[in-house]
Amino acid sequence: MEKKIGHRVGTVVIMISSLVFFSGCSNHAVQDEASITVTDQLGRSVSIPKHVSRIAALYNFGGKIVFALKQEDKLVERSLLGVDADAMAAVDPKFAAKPQLVKGNSVNIEELVSLRPQVAFVCSTFDKSDIQQLENAGMCVIAVRGETLEESFEAVRLMAKVLDCEDRADAYVADCRRLLAIVKERLADIPKEQRLKVMFAGPKSVYSVATGEMLQNQILELAGARNVAVDVKGFWSEVSPEQVAVWNPDVIFLGSTFSAYGVDEVLGNPQFQTVKAVRTRKIHAFPSNIGWWDFPAPSCVLGVVWSAKTLYPDRFKDLDMLVTADEFYTKYLGYSFTAMGGRL
């Protein structure tokens, strides 16, 4: 049975029927001495086995954290999606052999149940009734989210507690904060009014922009930029060409576009010819060929570093972005960015 799942926003639509339920847990099913209780990022108290050895992550964010915590051997399925999964499968035979349960925007629930995960990590935007159905199938469901870096760090610590590897979470968060501190120190003397104005375009079209309510806004702020759409509400909100002209950004970033458009298309857009970023050819696509750096942990920290170096290259001449990425990927995905096919 395959049911729809929107993995970019975490919405699942599932119906489980005529399935053989395995012995597992729900919000109330695990209450013996070999269990612990955690509070997920929806504020739900969830009882889980004290020793978790079989897990699933039905959202790319959760899958990346599993790898960052070096707990990927506990995955019953790939958990990484799209280009992330392709890159990992190319270098890791054990990963390549795992089933891919999320395909496009659907998930194979029957196969998931048959693999008997004790815990399933899901996005906090999953519908509550869908979470309940997963729990009815015997899984302990832990909801996580990462629309800010602090939420991402909270998710890392929560998942580490579930997986009994809290020391690894401490190391990961410390490394993230170290990279952020480097950026902050080098940009500290730039007055707010002199920071570059940036429009962050998203996956639907160049007219879909990252608002002040999104992780991308925080990436820009940490990288020393002013998000022209900071006062816009929503998630990848659509704006008019006239609005872009009024904003007149100094720089345009192209985020997780899924190859929908590119730098040349933006430069050639007749509606953008008066925009400063186009006139000065300051259009930059986020590194994304093996996984997006404007997506929640762990790689969004690299997105901050890359953004800052792109916007203010003179302040980061000594920082080799490829070396930084290789070191980070090796620590938190097990293979270097270069080995996985990453390009800048």
Q: Which domains does the chain have, with CATH numbers?
A: 2-162 (3.40.50.1980), 181-332 (3.40.50.1980)
From residue 334, how far is each of 11, 68, 217, 280, 307 by CA, in Å? 29, 8, 29, 39, 24
Asked which of 146-155, 158-167, 229-238, 254-263 is least confident by mean pLDDT, the reply is 254-263
From residue 226, how far is each of 134, 141, 180, 210, 297 by CA, in Å? 41, 38, 17, 12, 22
Share of the chain above pLDDT 90, in %: 73
Q: What is the pLDDT of residue 179?
A: 97
**At a CB cut-off of 8 Å and minimum separation 6, what does 129 contact?**
none
Q: Express the helix, strand and coil content of the chain in percent, nearest 5 each.
A: 40, 15, 45
pLDDT band at 295 (very low <50, low <70, confident <90, very high): confident
Asked which of 130-134, 158-162, 181-185 is least confident by mean pLDDT, the reply is 130-134
Q: What is the DSSP string of 63-132?
A: HHHHHHTT-GGGBSS----HHHHHHHHHH-HHHHTS---EETTEEEHHHHHHT--SEEEEETTS-HHHHH
Asked which of 92-106, 202-216, 253-267, 325-339 is least confident by mean pLDDT, the reply is 253-267
Report the 10 Å Cβ neighbour count for 14.
Answer: 22
From residue 311, how far is each of 85, 185, 193, 210, 303 by CA, in Å? 30, 15, 15, 17, 12
Alpha carbon distance 329, 339 (integer Å): 10
**At a CB cut-off of 8 Å and minimum separation 6, what does 274 contact?**
245, 248
Is pLDDT above 70 for 3? no
Reported pTM: 0.89
Asked which of 97-111, 139-153, 179-193, 220-234 is least confident by mean pLDDT, the reply is 97-111
Alpha carbon distance 51, 116 (integer Å): 15
Q: What is the mean pLDDT of residues 111-123?
A: 94
- 251-254/283-285 β-pairing: parallel
Q: How far apart are the first and last CA of the chain?
A: 39
- 119-123/106-108 β-pairing: unpaired
How many Cα atoms are found within 13 Å in the side-chain-facing hemisphere of 27?
12
Q: What is the mean pLDDT of residues 307-318?
A: 98
